[in-house]
Amino acid sequence: MYLGIDIGGTTIKFGLFKSSGALDKTWTIDTNREFDGMFIVNDIEASIGDNVAIHTLKGIGFAAPGPVDGSLVIEAVNLGWQNVDLKAIFEQKFPDVPVTVENDANAAALGEAMSRPDAYQSMVFVTLGTGVGGGVIIDQKIVEGAHGVGGEIGHLQVVEHGVTCNCGQTGCLETVASATGIVRIAQERFKTPTALIKDTMTAKVIFDLAKDGDAFAVDVIDYVTDVLAKALQNIAVIIDPDAFVIGGGVAKAGSFLTDQLKAKFDKIAFSNTRNIPIELAILGNNAGMYGAYHSVKKEVEA
């Protein structure tokens, strides 16, 4: 059995997998963020003890919400952690059980890539949430990058003369294609009569109105998908993945989003990259847990 554990800011998800890949059991515990998250590790250990016969464990994979260098979680603001080496800690607690640690967006990318009927060799995962994140998979492995920045899709600078991003740079994809970015764009453009109410706009409301044909909302989404298509085009000529997979809250707009995106991508795509499919994520909030499992399984079986 393998354990995949996704440590989030409010919940920690556990998945116990058979070596075949079948999910045997899943459960969650609350994340205790008190005292800079110092109880989290003990809570996880206790929960493993309560739910798993340790001697059956072949590996534990973690997904953590922050930059990871090797097995070190450099910083996880949502947990209060700085420089926590999960591998060192858990290999002390369970000496014979190999441990891997991945950034949660990267783990989610691996989970999505491996969970298709035919697992992708290469795939780029784009999460459109409060921010824009993602992960790059090549040869069924996470591209972490030399500084842990691999897959930081949200910081592709694809808007000329764009606004300043949280990262300090300007024109980042995240300023347009995140839930926050979509609302910002709509509020900036808010002039003409529309069914939208300026102060209560959300990305979901804008998408819903666009689906109903509201001209203003259609126009906002049209701009957002233009920018997103350009970002995917740029990724395509660098690594030419088997597929793009779109996840995160904004992706709940479903095929209304991906169909529009695919049509625009096809128009600007270089050569045969126009054959790259653009799909919706299938694992939802479990992607990180699945990816954590696949990561440790790969390491153990390598």
| Residues that bind a copy of itself in the complex, under the rule CB under 8 A | 121-122, 124, 136, 138-139, 141, 143-158, 160, 167, 169, 230, 233-242, 268, 270-273, 275-276
Residue 93 token pair: 């607690």
- Whichever of 52 and 246 has its CB closer to a copy of itself, that residue is 246
Neighbours of 207 (CB within 10 A): 22
- Whichever of 45 and 75 has its CB closer to a copy of itself, that residue is 75
**What is the smallest separation between the CB atom of 240 and a copy of itself, expressed in angstroms?**
2
SS (H, E, C) the chain: CEEEEEECCCEEEEEEECCCCCEEEEEEEECCCHHHHCCHHHHHHHHHHHHCCHHHCCEEEEEECCCEECCEEEEECCCCEEEEEHHHHHHHHCCCCCEEEEEHHHHHHHHHHHCCCCCCCCEEEEEECCCEEEEEEECCEECCCCCCCCCCHHHCECCCCCCECCCCCECECHHHHCHHHHHHHHHHHCCCCCCCCHHHCCHHHHHHHHHCCCHHHHHHHHHHHHHHHHHHHHHHHHHCCCEEEEECHHHHHCHHHHHHHHHHHHHHCCHHHHHCCEEECCCHHHHHHHHHHHHHHHHHHC
- Whichever of 75 and 85 has its CB closer to a copy of itself, that residue is 75
- Whichever of 7 and 124 has its CB closer to a copy of itself, that residue is 124
- Whichever of 167 and 300 has its CB closer to a copy of itself, that residue is 167
**What is the smallest separation between the CB atom of 37 and a copy of itself, expressed in angstroms?**
22
- Whichever of 150 and 248 has its CB closer to a copy of itself, that residue is 150
The order of strands in the sheet holding 141-142 is: 141-142, 132-138, 123-128, 243-247, 278-280
- Whichever of 148 and 249 has its CB closer to a copy of itself, that residue is 148
Residue 231 token pair: 């970002």
**What is the smallest separation between the CB atom of 145 and a copy of itself, expressed in angstroms?**
2
**What is the smallest separation between the CB atom of 270 and a copy of itself, expressed in angstroms?**
4
- Whichever of 159 and 296 has its CB closer to a copy of itself, that residue is 159
**What is the smallest separation between the CB atom of 12 and a copy of itself, expressed in angstroms?**
26
**What is the smallest separation between the CB atom of 48 and a copy of itself, expressed in angstroms?**
32
**What is the smallest separation between the CB atom of 192 and a copy of itself, expressed in angstroms?**
25
**What is the smallest separation between the CB atom of 57 and a copy of itself, expressed in angstroms?**
28
